[in-house]
């Protein structure tokens, strides 16, 4: 046989560390965020917010504000109650008690920061000035802030319902009671997870305007899901969706805080319709800390059944989520995910969970990077360490013993996540990630001796691991349109609207590989419901896997059509053509080909009809539907040093071994992991949205609310493995949230390891501030 030299394969973009195409514009200061939009004739909206955690509004006098120079309108709930329905919640359960928020308070305020009245003035400074002229009188009511108090029900936020427990989610797998009856060991712990916040660097903002010609409303808003906002707004205002255009311009981070539909997204459109002028509002940071969604706060009580050989047979879990004063758009998702995913990568055949959503006089709580996962991981991974310590087992070995193996997958876990569906783990090698992370961090048989030696020198070192499986790439679908113009340039429209994830780059990589063209020939458009008619959005680590799959499949349909057109033009069978380098090529005759541009021209209206009534133009629309949830997995491992004199914790080393299926761009995946870890680290050591006993929020700016800076971060070392999911043709899973999901568990376990000699058992995710760490250390050690 004569060997023919192989044709050099076109280099693939997918899997490559392609530099981001969106960066130059942003680096040159040419980004366009909501606050940067200045339309002629713009007027400025400002919100009067409740200063009380719980109070009845006895009167609102707007006369002084209305008379202030430049003030154009002042509205209260009475002025808009007939025009605006409540903010929808899309993840309620059938038996959930509806506790929906209205755009302005309807007689009672239930948290500090709740909108009470809205005004518009000709200047931003003037609008702010006029706020103090709105005279609102309140009769204060007792506030309830903590889960135990709210569950007891002495103070009710909505007395008509008779309870503050507004949703209870049940997950039942196997026979939990029988497993406990035969267990050799039963462990019970209660964990508290504190309230902390997404805090994107860009706050929220909106610009609403009415087109004088079409009378259509355009709402430009800093959101993660413009298409859903369009639907929500249409429903709330009773307007046809066709009269609403929603635009997400450059969005400066979201992390869940912009995966919500907010009061201001109703108020600005209402005022624009009323005044017929563009209405602009940009949230200030103080407002953001009390009026954008909060996150995380939960309490978990878990009982765990273990047999003598260390097999974890059952978990019986109860959790309470502090939902704040009302349902957000996504309100039960944190509780749902925590309860569905608590067992993480472990077999644990018998499982029962009751997850309660509870209302209190705090800011409404919703999703934040990882949603309910970080809480679940903290609880389960703390329990694995507690069990290992009690049984005298190696914590890695105990985990491996209980972990699902690749051969056991797919595995129907018997639980379900609201909006996402049944939990069926698809692919992964959880044990590999754990073993590799343990090896990378130095968790070897000699670790205990190393730790002991350091302790003898007064250095308290600890290593913690946390293994996780996370729901990613949820459906129901994402849309894509791929269109080729007569110059052979390709436009990709995606319904997944980004806020830093790099969709323009990764989607270009996918489409470029499918059509075998250059990245520079591709334009990716998103974030405008008039340009991209259908879409879902960017959340739940879904964009690459669902939106990316839609884009690539649409490109594939275009390619197939291009081949059909080529066969028609060349009068040959399509089977005699192949696709190579962006062209239809006759097999065996590489010189005989038609390029994408030539084929696009041939498919336009001024050319001969296409065969068989084929639609004109090289264009395809594809809706990729998620057949199930893709589950990413990872193990995080952290090494910390505790200064027992100051309580300061230094993170010496941090390792993430991560599996998100097929990686489109490893640099972007690493960036996602780094950012998530920083947020988890911030929540573990610094960040807290605290309240005083009266319900006054204690973190009103970024000086009270400490977030990590560059110097607080360890150097994160990542390693990837790729277990493609069968749920899309390209094997991609989600990568956006795992960093935040795994960090609290790994860091708290590391702190526990460092302080174990003091006999403490950490049962909280922190924040482990120096004061709190110091409180764990016996005085005689402190004073050495």
Q: Which of residues 651-670 bind another protein (CB under 8 A)?
A: 667-668, 670
Q: Residue 286 or residue 347: which is nearer to another protein going by CB?
A: 286
Is residue 715 near another protein by the rule CB under 8 A?
Answer: yes
| Binders of another protein in range 671-710 (CB under 8 A) | 671, 673-679, 701-703, 706-710
- The reply on whether position 105 binds another protein by CB under 8 A is no
3-state secondary structure of 661: strand
Strand order in the sheet with 108-109: 108-109, 55-61, 135-140
Q: From its phi and psi, is residue 396 left (phi > 0), alpha (psi between -120 and 50) or beta? A: alpha
Q: Does 376 bind another protein (CB under 8 A)?
A: no
Provide the minimum distance between the beta carbon of 566 and another protein in the complex, in angstroms, as a whole number.
37
Give the Cα-Cα-Cα angle 305, 316, 331 (nearest 5 degrees). Answer: 150
Q: Which of 3, 9, 28, 779 binds another protein (CB under 8 A)?
A: 28
27 contributes a contact to another protein by CB under 8 A: yes
| Residue 499 found at the interface with another protein (CB under 8 A) | yes
Half-sphere CA count of 577, side-chain side, radius 13 A: 26
When asked if residue 170 is in the footprint of another protein (CB under 8 A), the reply is no
Nearer to another protein, 228 or 504 (CB): 504
| Least distance CB 751 / another protein (angstroms) | 16
Closest CB 767 distance from another protein, rounded Å: 12
Burial track 464-486 (b if 16+ CB lie within 10 A, e otherwise): bbbbbbbbbbbbebbbbbbbbbb
Compute the distance between CA of residue 58 and CA of residue 131 in angstroms, rounded to an integer.
18
Stretch that binds another protein, among 359-367, 617-625, 711-719, 747-755 (CB under 8 A): 711-719
For another protein, which is the closer residue by CB, 548 or 695? 548
Work out whether 739 is an interface residue with another protein (CB under 8 A).
yes
**Contact status: 524 vs another protein (CB under 8 A):** no
Q: By C-beta, is 580 or 717 nearer to another protein?
A: 717
Detail the DSSP E strand segments found in 285-390: 298-306, 312-322, 350-358
159 sits near another protein (criterion: CB under 8 A): no
Stretch near another protein under the rule CB under 8 A, chosen from 34-42, 295-303, 334-342, 356-364: 34-42
**CB-CB contact of 277 with 41 (8 Å):** yes
| Residue 187 is a binding residue for another protein (CB under 8 A) | no
Map the footprint of another protein across residues 288-347, applying CB under 8 A.
Answer: none
Q: Choose between 10 and 30: whose C-beta lies nearer to another protein.
A: 30
Q: What separation in angstroms does the CA of 396 have from each of 83, 406, 425? A: 59, 17, 21
d(CA 109, CA 100): 13
Write out the DSSP string of 204-259: -EEEEEE-TTT--EEEEE--S-HHHHHHHHHHHHT--GGGEEEE--B----TTTTS
Using the rule CB under 8 A, is 33 a contact of another protein? yes
3-state helix, strand, coil in the chain (%, to 5): 30, 25, 40
Q: In this structure, are residues 344 and 433 in contact, taking their beta carbons and an 8 Å threshold?
A: no
The footprint of another protein on residues 236-255 (CB under 8 A) is 250-253, 255
CB of 465 to another protein, least distance (A): 19
Binding flag, residue 16, another protein (CB under 8 A): no
Q: Is 712 exposed, middle or buried (0-12, 13-18, 19+ CB in 10 A)?
A: middle
* Closer by beta carbon to another protein, 115 or else 714: 714
- Answer yes or no whether residue 513 interacts with another protein by CB under 8 A: no
212 binds another protein (CB under 8 A): no
Nearest residue (CB) to another protein, 248 versus 481: 248
Q: Do the beta carbons of residue 725 and residue 715 sit within 8 Å?
A: no
Residue closer to another protein (CB basis): 198 or 475: 198
| Cα separations in angstroms, 252 against 36, 200, 220, 248, 679 | 12, 7, 14, 11, 16
The number of beta carbons lying within 10 Å of the beta carbon of residue 345 is 25
Nearest approach in angstroms of CB 658 to another protein is: 14
| C-beta of 519 vs 706, nearer to another protein | 706
Cα dist from 698 to 48, 196, 244, 531, 769, whole Å: 19, 12, 38, 42, 16
Q: How many helices and strands, by DSSP H and E, does the chain display?
A: 21, 28
Residue count of the chain, please give it: 784
Say how many residues touch another protein, by CB under 8 A: 72
**26 interacts with another protein by CB under 8 A:** yes
203 binds another protein (CB under 8 A): yes
User: Does 520 participate in binding another protein (rule CB under 8 A)?
Assistant: no
- Stretch 253-282: interaction string toward another protein, x if CB under 8 A: x-x--------------------------x
């Amino acid at each position: 046989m004569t060997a023919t030299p192989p044709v050099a394969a076109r280099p693939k973009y997918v899997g490559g560390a392609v530099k981001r195409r969106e960066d130059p514009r942003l680096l040159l200061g040419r980004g366009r965020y909501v606050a940067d939009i200045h339309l002629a004739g713009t007027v400025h909206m400002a919100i009067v917010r409740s200063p009380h955690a719980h109070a009845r509004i006895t009167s609102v006098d707007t006369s002084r504000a209305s008379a202030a120079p430049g003030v154009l309108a002042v509205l209260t709930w009475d002025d808009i109650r007939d025009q605006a329905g409540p903010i929808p919640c899309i993840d309620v359960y059938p038996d959930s008690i509806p506790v929906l928020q209205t755009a302005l308070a309807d007689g009672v305020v239930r948290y500090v920061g709740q909108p009470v009245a809205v005004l518009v003035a000709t200047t931003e400074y003037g609008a702010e000035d006029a706020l103090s002229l709105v005279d609102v009188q309140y009769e204060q009511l007792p506030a309830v802030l903590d889960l135990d108090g709210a569950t007891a029900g002495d103070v009710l936020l909505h007395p008509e319902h008779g309870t503050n427990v507004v949703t209870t989610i049940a997950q039942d797998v196997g026979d939990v009671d029988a497993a406990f009856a035969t267990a050799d060991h039963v462990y019970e712990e209660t964990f508290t997870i504190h309230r902390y916040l997404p805090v994107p660097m860009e706050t929220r903002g909106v610009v609403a305007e009415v087109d004088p010609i079409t009378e259509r409303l355009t709402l430009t808003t800093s959101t993660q899901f413009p298409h859903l906002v369009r639907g929500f707004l249409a429903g709330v205002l009773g307007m046809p969706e066709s009269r609403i255009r929603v635009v997400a311009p450059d969005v400066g981070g979201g992390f869940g805080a912009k995966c919500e539909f907010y009061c201001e997204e109703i108020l600005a459109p209402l005022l624009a319709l009323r005044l017929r002028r563009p209405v602009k509002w940009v949230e200030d940071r103080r407002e953001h800390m009390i009026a954008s969604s909060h996150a995380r706060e939960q309490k978990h009580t878990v009982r765990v059944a273990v047999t003598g050989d260390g097999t974890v047979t059952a978990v019986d879990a109860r959790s309470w989520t502090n939902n704040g004063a009302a349902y957000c758009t996504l309100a039960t998702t944190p509780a749902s995910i925590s309860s569905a995913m608590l067992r993480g990568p472990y077999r644990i055949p018998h499982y029962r969970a009751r997850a309660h959503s509870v209302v209190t006089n705090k800011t409404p709580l919703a999703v934040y990077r990882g949603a309910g996962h970080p809480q679940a991981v903290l609880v389960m991974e703390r329990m694995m360490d507690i069990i290992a310590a009690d049984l005298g087992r190696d914590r890695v070995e105990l985990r491996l013993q209980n972990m699902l193996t690749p051969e056991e997958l797919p595995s129907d876990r018997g639980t379900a996540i609201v909006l996402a569906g049944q939990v069926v783990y698809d692919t992964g090698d959880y044990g590999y990630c754990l073993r590799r992370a343990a090896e990378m961090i130095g968790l070897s048989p000699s670790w205990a001796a190393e730790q002991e030696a350091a302790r003898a020198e007064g250095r308290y070192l600890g290593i913690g691991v946390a293994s996780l499986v996370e729901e990613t790439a949820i459906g129901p679908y994402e849309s894509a349109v791929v269109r080729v113009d007569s110059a052979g340039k390709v436009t990709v429209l995606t319904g997944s609207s980004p806020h830093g994830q790099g969709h323009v780059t990764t989607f270009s990589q996918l489409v470029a590989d499918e059509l075998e063209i250059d990245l520079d020939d591709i334009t990716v458009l998103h974030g405008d419901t008039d340009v991209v008619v259908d879409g879902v959005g960017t959340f739940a680590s879904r964009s690459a896997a669902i939106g990316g799959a839609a884009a690539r499949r649409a490109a594939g349909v275009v390619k197939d059509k291009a081949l059909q057109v080529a066969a028609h033009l060349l009068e040959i069978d399509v089977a005699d053509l192949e696709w190579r380098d962006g062209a239809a090529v006759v097999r065996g005759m590489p010189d005989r080909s038609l390029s994408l541009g030539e084929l696009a021209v041939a498919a336009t209206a001024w050319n001969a009809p296409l065969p068989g009534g084929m639609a004109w133009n090289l264009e395809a629309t594809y809706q990729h539907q998620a057949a199930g949830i893709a589950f990413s997995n990872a193990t995080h491992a952290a090494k910390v040093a505790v200064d027992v004199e100051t309580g300061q914790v230094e993170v010496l080393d941090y390792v993430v071994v991560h599996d998100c299926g097929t990686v489109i761009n490893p640099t972007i995946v690493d960036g996602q992991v780094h950012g998530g870890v920083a947020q988890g680290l911030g929540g573990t050591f610094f960040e807290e949205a605290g309240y005083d006993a009266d319900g006054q929020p204690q973190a009103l700016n970024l000086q009270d609310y400490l977030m990590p800076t560059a110097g607080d971060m360890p150097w994160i070392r990542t390693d990837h493995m790729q277990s493609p999911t069968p749920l899309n043709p390209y094997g991609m899973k989600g990568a956006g949230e795992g960093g935040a999901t795994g960090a609290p568990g790994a860091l708290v376990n590391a702190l526990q390891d460092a302080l174990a000699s003091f006999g403490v058992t950490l049962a909280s995710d922190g924040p482990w501030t120096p004061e709190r760490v110091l409180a764990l250390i016996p005085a005689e050690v402190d004073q050495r």
